[in-house]
Amino acid sequence: MTSAEVEISRVLDSEVSGTIASLRERFEAVRRGEIHRMRGRLGNLSSDQENVVESLSRGIIEKVLQAPVAMLLNAAAANRSAFLVATVRRIFNLRT
């Protein structure tokens, strides 16, 4: 691998990491927003109930993100991440 190819690979890996972080931030913001929006309907929750809501909602987010994160990581490992990064950013309206 030439030094230019190494640099391109490093930049793409950085873009993949940044895209994954942005994707997680976006989903976390949605999760928190929905919990906040539903808080009034839930009434007074015990500490255990709060923990269940948090755990359930975080688990759902992790499950939903498994496939896109795996695809991004696999594409980065194969040096084919540029198109996928651009596509994920466009689909989820992530900052570039």
Percent of the chain with pLDDT over 90: 66
Extract the residue ranges of the chain whose pLDDT is less than 70.
1-12, 96
Query: Quick check: is 96 in a domain?
Result: no
User: Left (φ > 0), alpha (ψ -120 to 50) or beta: where does 19 sit?
Assistant: alpha
Does residue 21 lie in a domain region?
Answer: yes
- Which tens digits make up the pLDDT trace of 53-63? 999 999 999 99
CA 49 – CA 55 distance, rounded (Å): 10
Q: 76 lies in which domain range?
A: 3-91
Which residues lie closer than 8 Å to 28 by C-beta, 6 or more apart?
61
pTM, full prediction? 0.80
Whether residue 40 lies inside any domain: the answer is yes
Please count the helices (runs of H) and the strands (runs of E) in the chain. 3, 0
Task: Using only the alpha carbons of the chain, give its radius of gyration.
Answer: 18
Q: How many structural domains comprise the chain?
A: 1
